[in-house]
Amino acid sequence: MKAAVFDLDGTLIDSAADIHAAGNAVLAVEGLPPVTLEQSRSFVGNGAGVYIQRLIAACGLAPDPVLEARMYRRFLEGYETAVGLTTLYPGVEAALRDLQADGWVLAICTNKPVAPARAVLAHFGLLDLFAAIYGGDSLPQRKPDPAPLLATIADLGDPQTLFVGDSEVDAECAVRAGIDFALFTEGYRKTPVAQMPHQISFADFADLPAKARLWRA
């Protein structure tokens, strides 16, 4: 059995606009200036807690655990159901269904909290495709720590696994877990493709099923 474990933000979905709106709403409540979409996008990848820390730093403020905790709670309240500005990357649904038809088991390992992860997958009618979903609050550790990815794979019965993601966080997680990595090049990465460890790369989800069939064929 083969499994494909997917990151979510920047891989299957472009959620940057919803994250940006939710972040700026929290800043507004605190009387702090908004950040730009590009700033917000650059803060994504290490989980909601780190995102809030980066928002605070962008406002020129020193670390403040009380402010951070308050903003984190407000952010999650608004973000749990924030799906209106989020889009699937082109070809995602067809690729997932093609992989499943080929006998692949599918799962999610994301640093997004699990409730909004499930909410956005349900919004797009994809929730039932995934046999396991691990979010950034499922374990004490988050990617790039390999624990969430290894736990996801264990839940699937330890199949031969390909991890699909878009970022430096995902690439490092795959290396540390000893799992082959498929890099979606059109997500939120900041590093040139050639400098990121990967076994497969693709810019169009229409190409993923064919490349997956050749992987360890």
Task: Look up residue 62 and give its DSSP letter.
Answer: P
For 149-163, letters b (16+ CB in 10 Å) and e give bbebbeebeeeebbb
Contacts 24+ apart (CB under 8 A), 38-46: 40/16, 41/16, 41/188, 42/188, 42/190, 44/9, 44/10, 44/16, 44/19, 44/188, 45/9, 45/10, 45/111, 45/167, 45/168, 45/169, 45/188, 46/111, 46/142, 46/143, 46/169
Do the Cβ atoms of 174 and 149 come closer than 8 Å? yes
Question: Does 7 qualify as catalytic in the annotation?
Answer: yes
CB atoms within 10 A of CB 124: 16
Q: d(Cα 68, Cα 117) in Å, to the nearest integer?
A: 22
Six token digits for residue 125: 């009618």
d(CA 88, CA 11) in angstroms, rounded, equals 9
Task: List residues with catalytic annotation.
Answer: 7
